[in-house]
Structure 1
């Protein structure tokens, strides 16, 4: 059995490609936009040089912050969450809760479907609360994996991961479902035999 969503109608665009320096101090998140079934999602609106790095490419799609219906946070590190406030009307999803305004609703992310083409799964490893958004598109399943991979090269041995065995298991789970991976701080990549496990 695969974790892949049954639907294949989602579309996505990377709004800004992130980066991470080997010695710091700069870091930026890869921030993505997804749409399906009338919903407009932002994945990991984290640290960027300026909010315009997110809002300008979104505007080029004909959308403003008020049009965003959902924000998905892969985990709670500030470099992946810093700009969530740009989307005050959105329903915000994490590993166990949905938030809007001053309200929240408890629900487990594991297997949660935002639409038939957009499914959340728990993928702990980089942090205990990591989740991945699997998007069924006409060309395959895209995994928005947060920091399971910072970029296509991994890192192979994530120095932040509290449990490397758990990280490896989550990476294998995503690799079993996805044809394309959008990492936390780099460009999308097609996984192959050299992809860090």
Structure 2
């Protein structure tokens, strides 16, 4: 059985293409906008040079911070969550709960469907709490995978991963479901045989 969502109506845009110290002037997250079924979400609103690097592209889509209904955090490292506070009206999702205002609702991310085209799965490896958002689009399944891959080159041996075998298993799981991968700190790339495991 595949993890891929059954629906294929989601759309997305990359708001900021991230980089790491080896590929850019510092560290910035790849921040994405995903929409389906009336939900407007931002995935991994992390470190960027300026909040305008997130809010400007959103404005180009005709959206403001108040239009964002959901924020999904792949894991709790600062470089992936730094700007979550830009979206005060959004429900925030992580590996174990949903948060809104002062409300905290426990739920496991594994298999959680935001819509028939948007599903969360647990993908520990880079950190114990990693999750991936799988989005069914007309052109295939897009995996917003956070730091399972920093960029298209991996790294194959993630220096901060506490469990190398868990990381490899999570990568294989994502590759089995996805056509395109959006990594934590780089441009999207095809989920094919050239992907580092």
Pairwise TM-score range, normalised by the shorter structure: over 0.9
Q: Which residue of 1 aligns with 2:60?
A: 60
Q: Which residue of 2 aligns with 1:196?
A: 196
Whole-Å separation in 1 of the counterparts to 2:137 and 2:18: 22
Structure 1: 4+ residue segments shifted above 6 A: none
Whole-Å separation in 1 of the counterparts to 2:88 and 2:192: 38
Whole-Å separation in 2 of the counterparts to 1:193 and 1:52: 36
The change in CA–CA distance for 1:52 and 1:104 in structure 2 (over 3 A counts) is: same
TM-score normalised by the chain length of structure 1: 0.98
Deviations 1:38-67 (A, max 9, x none): 110000000000000000000000000000
Tell me, yes or no, if structure 1 residue 69 matches structure 2 residue 69. Answer: yes
Unaligned runs of 5+ in 1: none
Whole-Å separation in 1 of the counterparts to 2:164 and 2:24: 22
For 1:2-151, list aligned pairs within 5 A: 2-22=2-22, 26-151=26-151
Root-mean-square deviation over aligned CA pairs: 1.1
Unaligned runs of 5+ in 2: none
Deviations 1:127-172 (A, max 9, x none): 0000000000001000000000000000000000000000000000
TM-score normalised by the chain length of structure 2: 0.98
**Count of aligned pairs:** 197
